[in-house]
Structure 1
């Protein structure tokens, strides 16, 4: 009797193990596995994907993630250090469209990833997160990105993208964070950018060759962070501020903005303000003493008058105030005569 119970127990355990093994094999959707293997081939079989064994569950493969309920592939993410990325030579292939449930696409630190952004990406309508950064992709920022209505986060920084910013990006109803910084983009900021649906967007357009004035519609947005630094933008940017806004960070440095700083009303939430290398004039308003400014730089402008005393204005480095027309007072070494 004991021997029979032992045999029965062994058989039950064996059945469970076989079932588990079968279940594990079946967890990976066959269509997703086929698409991933084709993607690996089209990417020239990079070593980072060398562990992708066709006989194993693709939900266990490196660089991918399966949804816990549907078991469909929802993440494809290659994030390498620079030395490792030099071994990754490819373009974004059409086979990326074979992952229709993909929510996250991340290709980072791949200096030998080249070519344009593939239109096949537009078929991935479930995408909510795209980060393609520090690569050598080129060509324009494609208008087809405006079709990805679930997109919440778009980061295309540190690439070789050229041309103008497509106005279609403003049509993305869920977009909260936009990085187009450190490319070679030209032309103006599209007027459509004033129609962002997010209440407090994070927008980074710095280190490009953007030109022209700020669109009036853009001035009305309530940014959390706005970085327009190192472009060729001109005109009055004072409308980006406002006492009723919730902005925390504004960087307008190294442009050609010209406006009277003394007339600006600043958000109470502002903690970072960089205006250096512009044509801003007037006096530094006393309101800045009431803010918890962790960083301030107004150097290389045309400011005059005494630096208000109080708050964190005297905590800033002397270089934050240098090279203005007639600015004086602490922390500058020159005392005010009036």
Structure 2
């Protein structure tokens, strides 16, 4: 028995490892299926520019399972293709078209083509010819044309996202046949018309995102069809009417409700207060009116609340949140008087926008629990007096600070702008002193209509940025007078 075992072990070693003269190779180095290789190389040929070399190791005769973005399972068959550009790096984009010959890669179950930016053409028909395909994410490219009328043939799909392209026309009625979908994301395109009633058939949806289109009509009252919906994003369209009552059925599980930037009206319904799991609520830039329900204080888990630019009136309920991350109540008809205590006490807040909220206080009297995380602060168009020096100087990562149209009165030279700051608007106040050198590196600046004086540092800004100050001089304003 020991001799047989030794012989067997020696044979396995011979097969798995190279011998001393290097003539043997591991059996694991087998190349992928020839159909997969030819299909992927044909797909690569559709791209005209690849400045980052994303596909540089896609070469004939090499193992395509080792190529960038390729994943294989089961007998070395290619199952997913993942090509991701970096949104802030144009050199990571691809240019060209999606070749239909990708349909030769018959074992594909997922394609993820995201942020490639410069891919043109129509909706890729090859997805109809891939029998195992379930997950399709073709996001942030330049695909255009209508969505195919026979999109319902893709009934096996579990996820479909074509967000960030240029698809136009109506949502096809056959979309009602995609009954296995968990995610449907058609946002940031040019789609028009109403939401088709057949969408109610997609009962397994957890994520519905139709934002950033030109969809119109009333929001359908069919949301009791979606017992597992976690994200409902319909913002930046042209929807009218009120919030449909069936949305109340989503209360047990819904995490995100985003209906901002539409033409919705009426009052914000009482049932919104029942969304105990709600993390994000965006109803901004609509025509909602009246008083918020007192029961709004039940939204104890809310982290992101945006009610800006409506016609809401006092009193604003005293929320019992444990911590708010971002808040925007700007430009309603609120007269808050002071920044609410539940805002001041938050240790995780990074965005605070209370422009035009009837705040009348000295800024030094505001003592936030934490300023470290602040990215954006907008307190414009209130009656705030005093100095912003301590507030700005105590921030580490501030990106934007706006306090235009108040009664601030302090020496601008005393401010130490954080290195992260890009946007500063202190116009229409009573600032004095000189313009500090540190403003030169900002992307946007407005110091107009204050009491600043002296020589302006060399800068790239237009004259309007410094207008209305009695004795500022140097380009882009008038030259300084010689003493």
Q: Shared fold (TM-score greater than 0.5)?
A: yes
Residues 238-249 of structure 1 mapped to structure 2, 5 A cutoff: 238-239=244-245, 241-242=247-248, 244-249=251-256
1:322 to 326, 330, 333: 330
Cα drift, residue 299 of structure 1: 2.3
- State the match for 2:304 in structure 1: 295
Cα offset for 1:241? 3.3
Distance 1:106 1:315 in 2: 34
Which has the larger displacement, 14-23 or 54-63? 14-23
Going from structure 1 to structure 2, the CA distance change for 1:231 and 1:219 (only over 3 Å counts) comes to farther
- Structure richer in helix, relative to its length: 1
Cα distance in 2, alignment partners of residues 35 and 109 from structure 1: 22
1:44: how far off? 4.6
Aligned to 1:161: 167
| Length, aligned pairs only | 323
How far did 1:262 drift? Answer: 4.7
CA-CA distance at 1:150 after TM superposition: 3.0
| Aligned with 1:273 (options 242, 265, 281) | 281
Alpha carbons of structure 1 residues 310 and 62: separation in structure 2 relative to 1, 3 Å:
closer
Kept in 2: contact 1:288–1:313 (CA 8 A) = no
Is 1:224 aligned with 2:230? yes
**CA displacement at 1:171 relative to structure 2:** 2.0
Contact 1:220 1:239 in 2 (8 A): no
Give 1:258's aligned residue.
Answer: 265
Q: CA deviation at 1:254?
A: 0.9
Q: Partners of 1:52 and 1:161 in 2: how far apart?
A: 30
2:198 is equivalent to residue 189 of structure 1? no
Note the C-alpha offset of 1:325.
4.4
> Can you list the C-alpha shifts for 1:263-285, whole angstroms capped at 9, x where unaligned?
43432211211111111123211
Partner of 2:445: none
Q: 1:227 to 1:173 in 2, by over 3 A?
A: same
Pair 1:107-2:113 in alignment: yes
Where structure 1 has 5 or more consecutive residues not aligned to the other structure, the ranges are 1-8
- For 2:291 and 2:24, locate their aligned partners in 1 and report how far apart those are by CA, in whole Å: 73
Distance in 1 separating the partners of 2:163 and 2:150: 18
Gaps of 5+ in 2: 1-8, 341-356, 361-483
Q: Distance in 2 between matches of 1:14 and 1:313?
A: 65
Give 3-state SS (helix, strand or coil) of 2:119's partner: strand
SS in structure 1 at match of 2:142: strand
* Alpha-carbon contact 1:188-1:210 (below 8 Å) kept: yes
Paired with 2:296 and 2:138, the residues of 1 have a C-alpha distance of: 38
Q: What is the rounded CA distance, in whole Å, between the counterparts of 1:146 and 1:11 in structure 2? A: 54
Partner residue, 1:5: none
Q: 2:103 aligns with which of 89, 92, 97?
A: 97
Shift of 1:225: 0.9
Q: Compare 319-328 and 219-228 and name the one that shifted more.
A: 319-328
Q: Distance in 2 between matches of 1:320 and 1:242?
A: 23
Aligned-residue offset at 1:101: 0.9
Distance 2:48 2:330 in 1: 53
Within 1, Cα distance between the matches of 2:36 and 2:243?
49
Alignment of 1:74 onto 2:79: yes
The residue number in structure 2 matching 1:60 is 66
TM-score by length of 2: 0.60
Give the Cα separation in 2 of the matches to 1:65 and 1:326: 55
Alpha-carbon separation, structure 1, partners of 2:358 and 2:49: 62
1:286 to 294, 303, 327: 294
State which structure, 1 or 2, has the greater radius of gyration over its C-alpha atoms.
2
Of structures 1 and 2, the one scoring higher in RCO (CA 8 A, sep 6+) is: 1
After superposition, the C-alpha distances for 1:18-50 in whole angstroms (9 at most, x for unaligned) are 797474454512222222222223335854222
Q: Indicate the residue corresponding to 2:147 in structure 1.
A: 141
TM-score by length of 1: 0.84
How big is the alpha-carbon RMSD for the aligned residues of Structure 1 and Structure 2?
3.0
Q: What are the within-5 Å matches in structure 2 for residues 23-62 of structure 1?
A: 23-24=27-28, 26-44=30-48, 46=50, 47-62=53-68
